[in-house]
Amino acid sequence: MTNHPNRRSILGSLALGAAAGGQLDMSAAQADEKSGAAAAADQVPGTCVLFPQAVEGPYYFDPNLVRSDITEGRPGLPLKLVLKIIDNASCVPLADVRVDVWHCDAGGIYSGYSGQGDDRNTSTKGQNYLRGTQTTDAKGLAVFQSIYPGWYPGRTPHIHIKAFLDQTTVLTGQIYFPDDMSARVYKTQASYAARPVADTTNDRDGLFTEGQREGGGIILAMEETPEGVTGTLLIAVDRSGEAARRGQGMWRRIFGGW
């Protein structure tokens, strides 16, 4: 299916860069669009529109690992994730915001849980891969080194995020990838060869479409680099925490504890 970017997906968008180092098969037309690597600290475009809340999902835990590189040697296309947190009222970057991210590996398996995989007998208890915490710097940036996530049945490829606005208020969200890029990654990269076709695209994913009621799903702006790919996103938050509290209540009503 064709992915149709909505207004929010454009808010954080950078131009998709050219292929470099043979990472993916990009067209010459796309290659001509590349005008140099974006400096995420100063060139993340967008407007101060609230990032939509999303359900946390069943695979969160806090491994208490403050680290930028969360790969722990998991195979996959290298992904640099650049998140810029700003205040939606003033558009000012927010420093000292704790940001947690977590996602599945190339095979669609999260660390730290049992009962996973197509046969539900895969356990990764005691493992912490593809999870970590960073604190935003003076420019509002939190940067993670990871891999492009795989997929699992019923969900489009995604990354989970928590932003801790104060001691009691947490913004919980999910961020997504362009469908066409996911399709190319899974079909051309060896680490994903066992599962080359995701069974769910963005516009068929219930959580993605539910987020659109608030103006998202949020699609990362993707750029290809010699090392892999970079995903960049501007995240505007309500520093008072009121929007996050409303969102937490909404998702509890819809999904319960899931």
**C-alpha span between 5 and 30 (Å, rounded):** 18
Instruction: Collect all residues with Cβ–Cβ distance below 8 Å to 120 and sequence separation of at least 6.
Output: none
Domains of the chain: 7-23+44-255 (2.60.130.10)
Q: What pLDDT digit, counting tens, does each position of 135-156 carry? A: 999 999 999 999 999 999 999 9
3-state secondary structure (DSSP) of residue 161:
strand
Higher per-residue confidence, 237 vs 182 = 182
Q: What pLDDT digit, counting tens, does each position of 7-21 carry? A: 333 333 322 222 222
pLDDT of residue 201 exceeding 70, the answer is yes
pLDDT of residue 186 exceeding 70, the answer is yes
**C-alpha span between 10 and 18 (Å, rounded):** 19
Residue type, 223: E
Q: What is the mean predicted confidence (pLDDT) over 118-147?
A: 96
Look at the pTM and tell me if it is higher than 0.85. Answer: no
Query: Within 10 A of 45 (CB to CB), how many other CB atoms are there?
Result: 14
Which of 3, 1, 12 has the alpha carbon at shortest distance from 218? Answer: 12
Name the H helices within the chain: 7-11, 28-33, 40-43, 179-188, 206-211, 242-255
Instruction: Find the angle CA(175)-CA(170)-CA(158) to the nearest 5 degrees.
Output: 15
**C-alpha span between 146 and 137 (Å, rounded):** 19
pLDDT of residue 249 exceeding 80, the answer is no
Q: In this predicted structure, what is the pLDDT of residue 213?
A: 59
